[in-house]
C-alpha cells in the first residue's frame, strides 16, 4: 500500500495503518538504530520509541520530505538521545564506583549482532563498530547511513539537513579516522 495512503489513514486514527507502517519500516528503523547504539536490546528500545514518536507526531508530518527521510531523522534522534542517556548513566556509575558505593561493571562490551553482518565476519565488524563509537556524532551518523544503510549522499544530505559536499566531507573524515584507528588497533595486536 502507498505510504501516503497509510499516513492519511493513520492521521485519521486507523490502527491497522499504524500496524502496516510498523511492519513496513521496522527493519530499517532497527538496522539504523543498531548501527548507532550497537546493542540489540537498546536498538529494540530505540525502535519502540521511534514508532511511539511516529504515532504521536504523525500530524506533524507535512510531506515536505519523503516519509523515509522523516523516519530516519526520528530514528537518528532517538538513537543519539539513547546514547547520551547511556553515557550519563555510565559517568554517574563511575562516580559512584570511585566513592565505593557501587561495584558493578561500568564498561560493557558490545552485544554486536547486526543483521547485515555474516557470522564469520562478526568479530571484525564488532571491532569496526567499536571504533565507530569514537567518531564525532555527525561523522558516525553519515557513515552509518552510507555504509550500513546504503543510502546515497543525496538521501543522507536530506536526512541530516545539510549539503552533499558537507556529507562528502563528513564521510571522508570518518573513513580517515577509522582507517587510522583500525591501523593502530591491528598494529597493537
Residue pLDDT tens, the chain, 189 long? 688 899 999 999 999 999 999 999 999 999 999 999 989 999 999 999 999 999 999 999 988 889 999 999 999 999 999 998 887 766 555 444 444 444 443 334 444 455 554 555 667 777 888 888 899 999 999 999 998 889 999 999 999 999 999 999 999 999 999 999 988 888 887
- Kindly report the CATH class assigned to 1-82: mainly alpha
Query: Does domain 116-189 match CATH 3.40.50.620?
Result: no
pTM over 0.85: no
Domain map (residue ranges) of the chain: 1-82, 116-189
Cβ contacts of 15 within 8 Å, gap of 6 or more = none
Place of cell 584507528: 181
**Cell numbers for 18:** 499504524
Contact 29, 66 (CB under 8 A): no
C-alpha distance across the termini of the chain, in Å = 51
Contact 149, 32 (CB under 8 A): yes
Amino acid at each position: 500500500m502507498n505510504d501516503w495512503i497509510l499516513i492519511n489513514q493513520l492521521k485519521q486514527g486507523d490502527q491497522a495503518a499504524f500496524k502496516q507502517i510498523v511492519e513496513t519500516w521496522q527493519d530499517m528503523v532497527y538496522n539504523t538504530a543498531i548501527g548507532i547504539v550497537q546493542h540489540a536490546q537498546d536498538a529494540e528500545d530505540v525502535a519502540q520509541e521511534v514508532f511511539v514518536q511516529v504515532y504521536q507526531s504523525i500530524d506533524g508530518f507535512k510531506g515536505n520530505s519523503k516519509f523515509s527521510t522523516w523516519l530516519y531523522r526520528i530514528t537518528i534522534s532517538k538513537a543519539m538521545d539513547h546514547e547520551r542517556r547511556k553515557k550519563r548513566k555510565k559517568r554517574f556509575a563511575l562516580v559512584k564506583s570511585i566513592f565505593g558505593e557501587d561495584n558493578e561493571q561500568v564498561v560493557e562490551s558490545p552485544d554486536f549482532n547486526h543483521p547485515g553482518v555474516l557470522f564469520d565476519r562478526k568479530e571484525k565488524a564488532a571491532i569496526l563498530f567499536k571504533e565507530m563509537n569514537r567518531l564525532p556524532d555527525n561523522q558516525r551518523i553519515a557513515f552509518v547511513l552510507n555504509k550500513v544503510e546504503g543510502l546515497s549522499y543525496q538521501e543522507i544530505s536530506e536526512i541530516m539537513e545539510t549539503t552533499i559536499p558537507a556529507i562528502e566531507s563528513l564521510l571522508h573524515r570518518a573513513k580517515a579516522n577509522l582507517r587510522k584507528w583500525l591501523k593502530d588497533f591491528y598494529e597493537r595486536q
